[in-house]
Amino acid sequence: MKTADIRRTYLEFFENRGHTLVPSAPLVYNDPTLLFVNAGMVPFKPYFVGDEVAPFNRAVSSQKCVRTLDIEEVGKTTRHGTFFQMLGNFSFGDYFKQGAIEYAWELVTTPQAEGGFGFDPEKIWTTVLTDDDEAFEMWRACGVPAEHIQRRGLKDNYWNMGVPGPGGPCSEIYIDRGPEFGPEGGPEADEDRFLEIWNLVFQTQDLSAVRSKTDFDVAGDLPKKNIDTGAGLERIALLLQGKNNMYEIDEVWPVIARAAELAGKTYGADHEDDVRLRVVGDHIRSSLMLMSDGVAPGNEARGYVLRRLLRRAIRAMRLLGVHDEVLPELLPISRNLMSESWPEVVSNWKRISEVGYAEEAAFRRTLTSGTQIFDVAVKKAKEAGEDSLSGAAAFQLHDTYGFPIDLTLEMAEEQGLQVDRKAFGTLMQEQRERAKADARAKKGGLVNTEAYRELRAAGETPFTGYSELAGQTKVRGMLLDGRPVTTAKAGDVLELVLDETPFYAESGGQDADRGIISGSGLHAEVLDVQRPVAGLVVHTVRVGEGELALRQRVDAYVDSDYRFGARQAHSATHLVHAALRELVGPTAVQAGSYNKPGYLRFDFNANQALSKDLQQAVEGRTMEAINDDLEVSTSMMSLTDAKAAGAMAMFGEKYPERVRVIEMGGPWSLELCGGTHVSHTSQVGLVSMSGESSIGSGVRRVEFLVGPQAFDHFAAERQLVLGLAEALKTQPDQLADRVARMSEQLKAAEKELAAYRTKELLGNVGALVDKAAQIGATTLVAESAPGVAAADLRTLAMEIRARLGERAGVVALVGGSDKPAVVVATTAAARDLGLSAGDLIRVACTELGGKGGGKPDLAQGGGTDATRVPEALAAVREAVTKVDAGR
């Protein structure tokens, strides 16, 4: 059976038995505890933990998943893959243990012609929790021999989420692959021969604390018994397709076959080559699926995972001998393989290919430059008799050349070296501490949600702020330092839950409201508003006067000016998004946003910067929409109808069945959005683009000032223009021409000055040769020439080399200004002694924090740190000395 057919068989089997088919959630999911969806039950977690009521009693899904904890094991075993598809059937207080076991047995053993998988019942083994006699007898009733049912402990056959919440015993289904794969004895003896394909979890208990797989506290029984199962699609496929491992199934193998063809390799002939080919097959597919769900390569979090996968695949191909671009060859193959089950890889192909190919091009440049620095660092380490690379060298490769630390580790291991991970980690931490933390990241840290869940159990917090900015309500709960309290006094900063609230909680990119909460003798300032769990609004407040008490009646007042500014910025964000899609193209899909009074930033997918003309056009198109006074309308509709109407949705956001749709100018701007907005676009006032930048491979960011802040910006620029015009004694409309003429005059003067400086230096060639150092048989001229441009530096170096004549001579000059320029030249006699300009330039540039290259007779480069010119020249002297000593 094809993998897509196995998937279809599973879904149809359970649909025909009353299960609601739930589409896969995107890999990027709105769960702060996860980078990616890593299990089939993740989208159902709110129903299992009680945050939300399940809209169905039973469900079935095929969920996209990514796990990268064991990325180094990919290709080495049959069981480690980064992307996989988890089939699952779920029951929420409906059928329980017997139903789950009977359904599983029926599907697994029914012949394929009759809608099942057709496994031989005699090759099926199952496991149950040690004391789960009930499950044991249920498997016996299905026909599984007692000797094929093994009892195992909590470590293997009890499931929990790793945090407080539901848990329960589980039962697993294994298939015996035959004696060629391992010894007899069932799963207890060997889990390569006996391969697990399905885990049935019987959720029965509410866990109050979880310390490990085998150490947890049980608060009591769940009010409803639930079923959560997970069947590995790739594992079922390898068994039904008669393959040895998951890399050889139909959705992966053609990529491996093409990779082997490109490399001129035969799969199965060499273990190391096979591992590399399997890495390519796995990582190409995983990267495709991540990019199809909107992930772009970057240096943090999800973007880093994707970058790592792509770069590991590209480098594996290089180790196989392929140095040309490989993604244009391999990504389309994976797209065609996955499109039957996941059509979005075709509909999103333009963006996927642009992002992927741009990342490969960037990495090829990184490999070219960074590998030179790596080689120099390795050479230094080995010459010094060290068995490891310094943390500083690894950090420089990461920070300056974009080498992921895992790539440095792999390359170092190939050279027989370790890496000082502790020193590298210290430098990374220092860098993080220097970096300005993003406001959302500060709020997004992982917290224990148990206290929030208890408050949520009393019901969700109704939001009244769409229609009113003030209202009377009651205090439902208070948390001080994460602990429930009944009172709070002046000076306390605490978290407050109200029965209902007009305060908007930060979401959808819109900043939280500000305001006050008052009562009899009470005055408290609202500092922040968040939704730590679905349906619960939590206010961070500072009590200024009086006291707060549980169940106290209070008045809530939203700062109306702050809210209006937020509405302006949020509506402007929608207009900017629409303008970008119109002018840049439909691939300019939102990748994140943040807006607050007076300011918005908008991240979108793009592989190149917006030109100045395009920036102006986007700003102008946004202003045009504002001036058109478009009506901003809000409507509620089903999620299906909203998507059919073309409403834009954010990757990773979870939407209910009924959604709020914001329309501006008809279909031109139609988005799913829960935020607050102006009623007409003219209320936005003004916008002014204040920045355009890259925040990662394939993702750009535009920033705008909005409303009064935009006006202030324009006014400040006007004053600046007027001041410059007055200083230069010209009219404002002639200022650009005046500055251009002055710039030309300055450049001419600088050119003339440089010519005089070069002439002066050339006149001092004899003096420079006379003061040369003699290192053994080699004459070394190593000098600093501040202010001399690279071209003139090259001329000077060649002139000095000519003066050295037949001598073994090396010339090393460092010029430039803020960014040093370096030139190294060698005579023929020096080259005969083993001195190469190309080697020496890398030594100098490394000290300067830069790079360089060239031929043995002449090389040039540059750096970033002008303060280290003496160290660079000293490094050249040391390198020449070592060569002389080694002769």
Short-list 765, 773, 845, CA closest to 809: 773
CA distance 867 to 806: 34
**Count of positions (residues) in the chain:** 887
Short-list 175, 165, 9, 6, CA closest to 84: 6
Residue 541 dihedral angles phi and psi, to the nearest 5° = -130, 150
Beta bridge partners of 693: 701
CA distance 284 to 279: 8
> In this structure, are residues 359 and 299 in contact, taking their beta carbons and an 8 Å threshold?
no
> In this structure, are residues 117 and 2 in contact, taking their beta carbons and an 8 Å threshold?
no
Short-list 819, 816, 812, CA closest to 850: 819
Task: Please report which helix (H) or strand (E) contains residue 757, including its range.
Answer: helix 735-763
Short-list 703, 718, 632, 702, CA closest to 670: 632
Reported for 690-696, long-range contacts at CB under 8 A and 24+ positions apart, including other chains, are 692/609, 692/610, 692/615, 694/609, 695/298, 695/603, 696/296, 696/297, 696/298, 696/299, 696/300, 696/303
> In this structure, are residues 193 and 78 in contact, taking their beta carbons and an 8 Å threshold?
no
Short-list 355, 373, 259, 269, CA closest to 316: 259
Report helix, strand or coil for 737. helix
What tokens appear for 280 in the block? 């390519």
Beta bridge partners of 701: 603, 693
Q: Going by C-beta distance under 8 Å and a sequence separation of 6 or more, which residues neighbour residue 223?
A: none
Short-list 852, 793, 804, 866, CA closest to 830: 804
Positions at the binding site for Zn(2+)? 570, 574, 673, 677
What tokens appear for 98 in the block? 């017997």
What tokens appear for 670 in the block? 């139609």
CB atoms within 10 A of CB 658: 11
What tokens appear for 605 in the block? 């997918």
Count the helices and strands in the chain (H runs, E runs): 27, 33
CA distance 646 to 634: 15
